[in-house]
Chains A and B, each alone.
Chain A
């Protein structure tokens, strides 16, 4: 009985079974409904785009870690997730070479320049998307009509304006209910809020996303957008439009909640989210671009450290000095 080798370590001696790979793969799984819907809408183009982004993101991670003589962490799923998220932000007929370039930037510049997972300041997928927006401004705003792939008579890449572009340039507002179901022009993951929300329900149930962030983004964009609508409803869209148009659902639930780049304090989540909501509305209504969620998130990512610093919770029993 006494010759058993006993293990000694510091308490606690039990841990729950959460882990980083588990989180990443569950988030990947949550994106599946939206991914399948995009394949249904855009066909083989969607499959190729997603595959390209995922594979190149993983390859980039491998090369960076190999060159820096670091442990290869492909199995944690974070590179694959960044790839899928990037693909979700791209229009269906975006050139694959461009998507590959964006993936290299996302993982290389967005993640590994800072030291890899956990150290990056900005959301890698959005860094990739921002790069592509700057490098290929025309291609990234060329949209396919859904189902175009099914009618062979139609030539490739029939461009159709997205609801946001319609709002911006034609003062034409697509009703919110059309946006919820999807089937409107847009990027892979922008077309159907419903498909994305199916995954969100699952993630919220598992506690993998901070509800305070999407809640504050949605509330602040609703209120802030509502002010302008009340002022002039012919020039500004109804407030709920902001919820379901463009990358709002994808951004609020999947991008802004990226654990690495969002704050860690309860108050911080609210400030972070409200900042994103307000900046998104400002860019959409007054900026030069139709869509603003991406820049709003990247902008607030930069504030995460300072938000954390000034929103430290009051320790139980702490006496104000």
Chain B
């Protein structure tokens, strides 16, 4: 089987061996959870509970009437202690519900009847995805039911399941594919049914050969048209646009979405959640989190309740090592550095990676010597050094002209820069200025 890939990209040290062979185990139910009311991209939710209320596991505690939104559910049973602004992993202050556990973990009874996707209509599957609060669990947290509702003029002919997991350290998707391949494929089939698409693809990086064969075994069953593809091990293989280019050789137009080329991409974790919500009426109350990095004593893959604080999760992994200095939500290339450990796990938390002092030594940036390394590795074929410079000097028009808005912020350019220039940071700064300008023009 030939391995598919895209052009450019980098080969960082993957460092997955500390967790790739560790089975997912359920984390202890925490005494307290802090559940941010917004864990998706879209309209904000309103709380449906008030301080002092008793809630059960799986009970909806916040929602919105807006289409692009996703409800939030209680992840443990207990008493609502507070509804207040707290720090979200994104760095924003978000209204969150604090629940104190009654240690019973009683489930909220809704409709216990068994369901199968084959008996459901497209609309029903979308409705279930929305009610269960399913969002892109790869990290982007875009509401899944919105992805499943493309505008009529967009003809979707392919669903791609993203099992690339190209970020170093992370093995959560790897373990899911290995341990629950049936659910992964079931969820994919449900997605295909709801989009009325007959062709499914699953892309998995070739450093997960066991997952490829597990999925391959499952995908062939019951005559579904699902192709499983091994992908070259290269970062950012799991970026949507790179994945589509690798598997279907289609290019998502600049500023466009996958649906513009007839594709919907879902993460493997998302389809598992969808399978659970269809068959077991289970909303998103927990997810697999890879806890890894040299700063963690016992790296693990944990099934963690949403709202569990990072400090609890790390404690369960034996605590931090001497010299731990940086806590990242997600992978080390695109993840977000956290200011404290009192931050909750959200639906988009694919991993908690802790790096130590000598790994994060900030070398002083030198001047650009025009070596072109950033150009060599940019998977979008941009000129990172140019757009970063335009951004730095507020030449927003120039930056736009050179495609700054097409940057996917994968970090390859910064990773390879021998002058240690924080290219992506300047590019983000430039993008922010442009977005602000656009907003002003609109209003």
Contact = CB atoms under 8 A, between A and B. Distances in A.
Interface of A: 1-2, 4-16, 18-20, 22-23, 73, 76, 116-119, 210, 259-266, 308, 312-319
Interface string B12-37: 10000000000000000000000000
Interface in B345-366: 353, 355, 359-360, 362-363, 366
Contact of A264 (B328, B341, B375): B375
B70 to A, nearest CB: 24
B332 interface: yes
B381 A316 contact: yes
Contact of B424 (A12, A76, A262, A264): A12
A33 B375 CA distance: 31
Nearest to A13: B332
A316 B380 contact: yes
B342 interface: yes
Contact of B333 (A4, A12, A318): A12
B82 interface: no
B311 interface: yes
Contacts of B370: 118, 259-262, 264
A314 B7 CA distance: 13
Contact of A118 (B256, B320, B335, B368): B368
Interface in B139-177: 168
Contacts of B339: 6, 8
A7 B367 contact: no
A265 B360 contact: no
Interface of A is mostly: loop
Interface of B is mostly: loop
Given A18-B416, A23-B418, A259-B370, A317 B325 contact: no
A11 B383 contact: no
B6 to A, nearest CB: 8
Chain B interface size, under 10 / 10 to 19 / 20 to 34 / 35 or more: 35 or more
Contact of A19 (B320, B382, B402, B420): B420
Contacts of A13: 326, 328, 332-333, 335, 337, 353, 355, 360
A1 B333 contact: no
Contacts of B327: 6
Contacts of B419: 19-20, 118
Contacts of B415: 12, 14-16
Given A259-B372, A316-B406, A319-B253, A10 B332 contact: no
A76 B359 CA distance: 22
Contact of A1 (B341, B372, B380, B409): B341
Nearest to A264: B372
Interface string B411-436: 10011111110101100100000000
Given A4-B324, A259-B369, A11 B337 contact: yes
Given A260-B369, A318-B406, 17 more contacts: A1-B311, A4-B324, A4-B325, A6-B340, A11-B335, A11-B424, A19-B420, A23-B371, A259-B372, A261-B370, A264-B371, A312-B383, A314-B381, A315-B382, A315-B403, A316-B380, A317-B254
B359 to A, nearest CB: 7
B385 interface: yes
Given A6-B337, A14-B333, A23-B418, A315 B380 contact: yes
A23 B419 CA distance: 10
Interface string B218-262: 000000000000000000000001000100000111101000000
A12 B368 CA distance: 18
Contacts of A314: 381
B326 A6 contact: yes
A20 B366 contact: yes
